[in-house]
Amino acid sequence: MTARIFFRTGVFRQQDFETGFALLDDAERQRCLQYQHLNDKLRFACTRIALKRLLADCLQTTADSIRISTTVQGQPFCLQQNTHWKITVSHTEQHYLIAVTDADIAIGADLESYENSAAFSADMLASFCHPQEINSLNNLPADHRSMHVQQLWSAKEAIVKALATGFDTDPCTLLLPVPLPEHCAVSVSKQTLWLSRQTLMISHDRLMLIRCASTEHAEWIGLPVSGAV
């Protein structure tokens, strides 16, 4: 059976912050206001607002009825209408990605800007790459190496989100193929995870999206932005 995963991408906007702030509960508003910088406030609030609107669309209810909880590891989830919704969130610069599913699977995703590609020092590589990955990277043309390093980092972000462990899982223990294919299966913590990679264009920005699910039969369904409260 195909597991449906609904996702949405967007841009942090002051307008969304102002019109959607009332959707946040007291704890979310307090957390938002604790951030010192406006960009951090926008990032948290706009992502949470968009997430509530996405879940409301999936559940055919109103966004102000959605309540989001968090595990002790910091993983968001939603219990609504006797259904457990898994959630994964990613953001880069002014862009966000949110994805939800009510299927009995694990999901993770990471969104990165190709403009962020930069040279990585040997110490940085050693902090998140498996030794075999480093050997493979060193055999690649130097002018392409940064992009492949970024793909590895993004894939490992998606994996640890799916595992719901964060970086309590040492990324250096995760061995991925280099170069990273557009689609591949990897064995992690005695389970198989399926990765897919694609390029998105959002507001003229070129972004890399890496998605992860604990089933080969996952259908990622992009939903348009909804302004419904």
**pTM assigned to the model:** 0.91
Quick check: helix, strand or coil at residue 10?
Answer: strand
Residue with tokens 């609030």: 45
Same domain? For 88 and 161 the reply is: no
Q: How confident is the model at residue 228 (pLDDT cuts 50, 70, 90)?
A: very low
Q: Which of 103, 126, 141 is the last residue of a domain?
A: 103
Q: How confident is the model at residue 24 (pLDDT cuts 50, 70, 90)?
A: very high
Total of domains in the chain = 2
Q: What is the mean pLDDT of residues 37-43?
A: 92
- At residue 224, what are phi and psi to the nearest 5 degrees? -70, 160
226 falls within a domain: no
- Residue 150 tokens, joined: 């970024």
| 107-150 pLDDT tens trace | 999 999 887 656 677 888 899 999 999 999 999 998 888 889 99
- What's the farthest any 2 CA atoms get from each other in the chain? 53
73 falls within a domain: yes
Same domain? For 65 and 151 the reply is: no
Q: What is the mean pLDDT of residues 51-66?
A: 96
- Partnered with residue 84 across adjacent β-strands are 79
Same domain? For 91 and 164 the reply is: no
Q: Which of 53, 72, 103 is the last residue of a domain?
A: 103
- Residue 157 tokens, joined: 């972000």
Q: State which H helix or E strand residue 184 sits in.
A: strand 183-188
- Judged against a pLDDT cut of 60, whether residue 224 lies above it is answered with yes
Q: What is the mean pLDDT of residues 206-225?
A: 93
The range of the structural domain enclosing residue 195 comes to 105-219
| 175-207 pLDDT tens trace | 999 999 999 999 988 899 999 999 988 778 889
Q: Which of 48, 82, 103 is the last residue of a domain?
A: 103
In 3D space, the residue among 173, 178, 177 whose CA is nearest the CA of residue 160 turns out to be 173
Same domain? For 124 and 213 the reply is: yes
228 falls within a domain: no
Residue 112 CA: distances (Å) to CA of 35, 136, 147? 22, 22, 11
224 falls within a domain: no
Burial environment of residue 185 by CB neighbours within 10 A (0 to 12, 13 to 18, 19 or more): exposed
Same domain? For 113 and 204 the reply is: yes
Question: In CATH, what number is assigned to the domain containing residue 120?
Answer: 3.90.470.20
Same domain? For 171 and 120 the reply is: yes
> For the ranges 74-88, 153-167, 205-219, which has the lowest average pLDDT?
153-167
The pLDDT value given to residue 142: 85
